[in-house]
Structure 1
Amino acid sequence: MDDFVSESDSDYTSYWRDWFISSRGNEYFCEIDEDYLTDRFNLTGLNTEVQYYQYALDLVTDVFDLDCDDEMRETIEKSARHLYGLVHARYIVTTRGLAKMLEKYKKGDFGKCPRVMCHSHPLLPMGLSDVPHLKPVKLYCGRCEDIYNPKSSRHAAIDGAYFGTSFHNILFQVYPALIPAKSAERYIPRVYGFKVHSAAALIRWQNNQRDDMRRRLRKMEVESGFKDADDEIEADEDEDEDEDEELGAEQFQAAEAGGLVEGEIRTVA
């Protein structure tokens, strides 16, 4: 964020937010409504986190008229960008902010998932920390539920706190129709058409863990999202019950033949 090139006074004094949104590297940000910026309640606590807070706010709201040197001007610009990012994290979890970010999400402004099995599913920006200057922004895929680094170095330099750790989850809570169907597709390593042994064993273990999780969710009547595997799980459960019944019958017959059913105790020499 510190690498922005300063523009002329006419470019950023009259329409600072337009200049900021249109600058290269700021494609992840949406424009904050002026009404939100001028409401002091929305800015609670930010005066202690931003240097030259009042000057920075005046610059963001296009009322800055301080006559200062270039060095001071650059410092205020830096503070204004930081202030805008902190307010942005609060704004995008409001109704209006979610709607704006939703439009950018639908247009794929945040990029596509690099995982092949996700079939270019759109991503959402997120932070790993709500504290500024700790973690850069990451991109979240709702299909594989994993996070990725931005491709552009300009985007990778954005502070993750400008989006927060909750925005992407709140978006899917407010718009549940956007929750993508979970994909059970997995890449299977093969050599001349045959599965690679170690990877195949690992996949079997992962599949077993996934099936166990689905069974537990079904018992708790929690929606798992894996619609394509419900029938298979029911069939597996029926087979397990049949196997348990057959095994129990065999054990009973063996115990009866050994004379242990009536509680006899035999000593093995």
Structure 2
Amino acid sequence: MGEQFISSRGNEYFCEIDEEYLTDRFNLTGLNTEVQYYQYALDLVTDVFDLECDDDMREQIEKSARHLYGLVHARYIVTTRGLAKMIEKFKQGAFGKCPRVICEQQPLLPMGQHDTPNVSAVKLYCAKCEDIYNPKSSRHAAIDGAYFGTSFHNILFQVYPAMMPQRTQRRYEPRIYGFRVHAAAALMRWQDERREEMKERLRSARVETGFEIEDAGDEDIEEDEDDVEGEDGIDDMFEGQMQRV
């Protein structure tokens, strides 16, 4: 089933698992509790399946076989043989290129955000900007992230340090008519937002700080401004009445 699974559309991220690895029961420890119809699924994966069953049963076993293959795949790709196969796919750009312009088409690696199945889909990791991205194809976006795991991409660069790209220090700089936008205004806005958030948290916790006096002073200034505007309005009304007299 391995070759057929790998050649199927949407399974380009996977590498073929060696038959010796699949037939070694030690490598499959604990998977029998995670996969339905485990023995039938294993027989299908190792191409020894000979059970006569109806179409519905066959479909369920094939689904379990795909899940079993994915779980074994997560274990296999951190072995010496598995890493060697995945590094070749990485060199060929089989997993896609980083969409970030400044990364200059850096090849990506598949990774999972969780090691537990059915939690999150596979993501693509760029070692140059150290960020993760969603796959472009919806077929790849449906792959379970647990089939690659959270450690594979880091282990690969530990084993093949020469393949680790130099981390980019370049960042996009916003410009207006060629002039760089001054960062002070953005920094002040950010500081004001954080300050208001902190004040709100302190109020919620009923912690006494110097902010209360400052806020009261601001309110008095606003009230004084309102009073001035009110007095001006009264004076204008009085002058209008005198003119009519």
TM-score range relative to shorter protein: 0.7 to 0.9
What displacement does 1:82 show? 0.0
Partner of 2:240: none
Task: Give the structure 2 partner of residue 65 of structure 1.
Answer: 50
Q: Aligned equivalents of 2:119 and 2:86: distance in 1?
A: 23
- Using the size of structure 2 for normalisation, the TM-score is 0.75
Distance in 1 (CA, whole Å) between partners of 2:113 and 2:119 is 9
- Residue 140 of structure 2 aligns with an amino acid whose one-letter code is H
The match for 2:158 is 173
- Match of 1:117, SS state, is helix
The 1:41/1:180 distance shift into structure 2, 3 A limit, reads same
Which one of the candidate residues 112, 130, 136 is aligned to 1:145? 130
Amino acid across the alignment from 1:22 = S
Equivalent runs, 1:93-242 vs 2, <5 Å: 93-198=78-183
Give the deviation of 1:196 after TM superposition. Answer: 1.8
* 1:70-113 alpha-carbon deviations (Å, 9 max, x no partner): 00000000000000000000000000000000000000000000
* Match status 1:28 vs 2:10: no
Determine helix, strand or coil for the equivalent of 2:143: coil
Distance in 2, Cα, partners of 1:134 & 1:33: 27
- Structure 2 residue aligned with 1:86, among 68, 71, 82? 71
- Summarize the Cα distance change of 1:37–1:200 in structure 2 as closer, same or farther, 3 Å threshold: farther
1:185-243 per-position Cα deviation (integer Å, ceiling 9, x unaligned): 111111101112348866xx9xxxxxxxxxxxxxxxxxxxxxxxxxxxxxxxxxxxxxx
3-state secondary structure, aligned to 1:139: strand
Name the aligned partner's letter for residue 150 of structure 1: P
The number of residues matched between the two structures is 188
Q: Which amino acid aligns with 1:102?
A: I
Q: Work out the CA distance in 2 between the residues paired with 1:199 and 1:90.
A: 49
**Corresponding letter in the other structure for 2:70:** G
Opposite residue 124 of structure 2, the aligned amino acid is: L
Whose radius of gyration is greater, 1 or 2? 2
- Tell me, yes or no, if the aligned pair for 1:105 and 1:123 is still in contact at 8 Å: yes
Does structure 2 conserve the Cα–Cα contact (< 8 Å) formed by 1:125 and 1:137?
A: yes
How far did residue 153 of structure 1 move?
Answer: 0.3
Q: What is the distance in 1 between the residues matched to 2:185 and 2:43? A: 61
Q: Distance between the aligned counterparts of 1:43 and 1:186, measured in 2?
A: 45
Unaligned runs of 5+ in 2: 191-245
Change (3 A) 1:32 1:200: farther
1:165 offset after TM fit, Å? 0.1
Report the secondary structure of 2:2's partner residue.
helix
For 2:83, what is the secondary structure of its paired residue?
A: helix
Aligned CA RMSD, in angstroms, stands at 1.4
